Each structure stands twice: as structure tokens, then as C-alpha cells.
């Protein structure tokens, strides 16, 4: 667990201290951990299996939760809890069941304020997670835009 | 004379077996063409005056569940492609095609 991405760069002692403030939660198959738009009151670290992050999309007139990203063992999710307006921007669920470590925002904030050197490293890790997600989605968005442009050109050519 | 008749009989038998195998193989192809999970294609609509002049490509209409699986697969492939681009940021990597059924 000390290899979790949120804990990179922390000493084993500091990582252990941080893990102690969390509570382990077992999620049954199909459990929704949090929903899009709900208050983000906790950060989670996946300790077993994986979680799906989804967004609603209209598919043939029906609203369906479509997979956007997956979080595996050791990865964090729910970083919206650390950033205003503290609302989840995705829905997280455990399609195969999972286990997570839940770290309440207020407790984490108190811990990080009391230990600013730990707070700096953790927030740097959060920035890295957010930055990587941004870069991946920028590339994915551009790839889709390229297809839109190609489809548009093909439509114009056939008109 | 007997040898000649025997040769002709064997040739006819060979032709009959080949024809039978060909028909069986053709029938198999037709059957496997109608995949499970795919809904039957709708009847073509009568052409309208404002319809595009080109004939739209005939694509099988898949069920919502199959479509959702395809979307999921597409997202995974696109994410992998985007991560590969991050590991080696070049124009070629950015536009590297995937085998996603949604874009083919």
C-alpha cells in the first residue's frame, strides 16, 4: 500500500501515518462508490481490484453510464475532495467488487496542515495525477476532433 | 470399354461431391454472416427528394449492450493510444490508429 501513487516520495513512516487515518471499505460487485455531482467528502485509494469511472451518455435514446477511465490497485480517486467546489465530476463503481481505503477530507486536511512537508508531497502527487489525466484527455480529445474533421470533409465531398 | 465407363463414372462422382461441398461451404458463410447479438438490418427506406445521392454504407445495427461494449473497448484503446503518445510525443503517435470497431 505504501507504493500507492498518492504516497510517492513519502518516507515509510509518513506513509504509514497517512494510511492509518483511512478506513478500509469492501465494495460488493456493482456498488456505486460515489455519483457525479455528489459532495466529495473523501479521497480513496484502491487497495484491491479496480473501479470504473463513468459519465452518463445518451445511447439510442437511453441514458447509459459510459466508461471514461479505470483506477487500479494503488491508484487514487476522488481527488475532487481536495479541490473546490468539492463535487465529484464522475461516477465511480466497482463492476467486479473491490476494496478501497477511504480517507475523509477533513481528517486528511487536518493531517496535511499539521505536517506541511507531508502535505507538500501529497499535493504534488495530486497535481501529477490531475496533470496526467489532463494530458491523456487532451490527446484523446484531439484524436476525436481529427475524426470529426475527417467525417465533415467526407460529408462535404459527398454532398 | 469397361475401363472407359469406370473413368467416366468416377469423374461424374467427383464433380457431384465437389458441387455438394461447395454448396455446403456457401451455406455456412451465409449463416455465420448473421452474427448473434446483431439485430436484423432495417428495410431500406424509399428515397426522398432531399436524400443524399450516395448510397449510405450498409452497417449492421448492433444491440445497445454490444454498442456499450464497443464504446468501452474504444475508450480503453483510445486511452492506451493517448498514453503511448505521452510516453513518446510525436505527431505519428498522436494519430496512431487503433483497431476500435467504432472508427472502422
Q: What is the mean pLDDT of residues A50-76?
A: 92
- Is A60 close to B76, i.e. CB distance below 8 A? no
Contacts of B79 in chain A (CB under 8 A): 69, 136, 140
Cβ B73 vs Cβ B100: under 8 Å: yes
Q: What is the pLDDT of residue A140?
A: 95
Residue-number span of the structural domain to which A120 is assigned: 5-158
- CB A42: neighbour CB atoms within 10 A? 22
A140–chain B nearest CA distance, Å? 6
Please classify residue A60 by burial: count the beta carbons closer than 10 Å to its beta carbon, then call 0-12 exposed, 13-18 middle and 19+ buried.
exposed
Q: What is the mean pLDDT of chain A?
A: 94
* Chain A, nearest residue to B89 by Cα: A139
Q: How far apart are CA A128 and CA A5, in angstroms?
A: 9
Q: What DSSP line would sit under A100-146, residue for residue?
A: EEEEEHHHHHHHHHH-HHHHHHHHHHHHHHHHHHHHHHHHHHHHHHH
pLDDT tens-digit series, residues A104-124: 999 999 999 999 999 999 999
Q: What is the pTM of this model?
A: 0.69
ipTM of the complex: 0.78
pLDDT tens-digit series, residues A14-33: 999 999 999 999 999 999 99
Q: What is the pLDDT of residue B101?
A: 82
- Is A64 close to B81, i.e. CB distance below 8 A? no
Residue from the list A68, A143, A147 with its beta carbon closest to the beta carbon of B81: A143
Q: Read off the CATH number of the domain in which A21 is found.
A: 2.60.120.10
Please classify residue A8 by burial: count the beta carbons closer than 10 Å to its beta carbon, then call 0-12 exposed, 13-18 middle and 19+ buried.
middle
Per-residue model confidence as pLDDT tens for chain B (104 residues): 566 666 666 666 565 555 554 444 444 434 444 444 444 444 444 444 344 444 455 566 788 889 999 999 999 999 999 999 999 999 999 999 998 888 87
- The total of structural domains in chain A comes to 1
Amino acid at each position: 500500500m505504501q507504493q500507492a501513487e498518492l504516497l510517492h516520495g513519502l518516507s515509510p513512516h509518513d506513509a504509514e501515518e497517512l494510511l492509518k487515518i483511512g478506513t478500509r471499505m469492501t465494495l460488493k460487485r456493482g456498488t456505486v462508490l460515489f455519483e457525479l455531482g455528489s459532495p466529495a467528502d473523501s479521497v480513496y485509494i484502491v487497495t484491491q481490484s479496480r473501479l470504473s469511472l463513468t459519465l452518463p451518455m445518451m445511447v439510442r435514446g437511453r441514458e447509459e453510464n459510459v466508461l471514461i477511465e479505470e483506477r487500479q490497485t494503488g491508484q487514487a480517486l476522488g481527488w475532487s475532495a481536495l479541490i473546490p467546489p468539492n463535487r465529484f465530476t464522475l461516477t465511480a463503481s466497482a463492476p467486479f467488487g473491490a476494496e478501497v481505503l477511504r480517507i475523509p477530507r477533513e481528517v486528511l486536511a487536518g493531517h496535511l496542515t499539521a505536517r506541511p512537508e507531508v502535505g507538500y508531497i501529497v499535493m504534488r502527487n495530486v497535481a501529477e495525477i490531475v496533470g496526467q489525466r489532463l494530458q491523456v484527455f487532451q490527446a484523446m480529445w484531439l484524436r476525436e476532433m481529427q475524426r470529426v474533421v475527417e467525417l465533415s470533409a467526407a460529408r462535404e465531398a459527398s454532398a | 470399354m469397361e475401363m472407359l465407363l469406370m473413368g467416366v463414372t468416377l469423374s461424374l462422382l467427383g464433380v457431384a461431391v465437389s458441387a455438394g461441398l461447395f454448396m455446403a461451404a456457401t451455406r455456412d458463410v451465409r449463416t455465420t454472416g448473421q452474427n448473434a447479438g446483431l439485430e436484423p438490418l432495417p428495410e431500406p427506406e424509399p428515397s426522398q427528394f432531399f436524400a443524399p445521392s450516395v448510397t449510405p454504407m450498409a452497417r449492421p445495427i448492433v444491440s445497445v449492450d454490444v454498442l456499450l461494449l464497443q464504446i468501452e473497448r474504444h475508450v480503453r484503446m483510445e486511452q492506451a493510444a493517448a498514453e503511448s503518445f505521452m510516453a513518446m510525443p510525436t505527431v505519428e503517435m498522436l494519430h496512431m490508429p487503433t483497431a476500435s470497431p467504432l472508427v472502422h
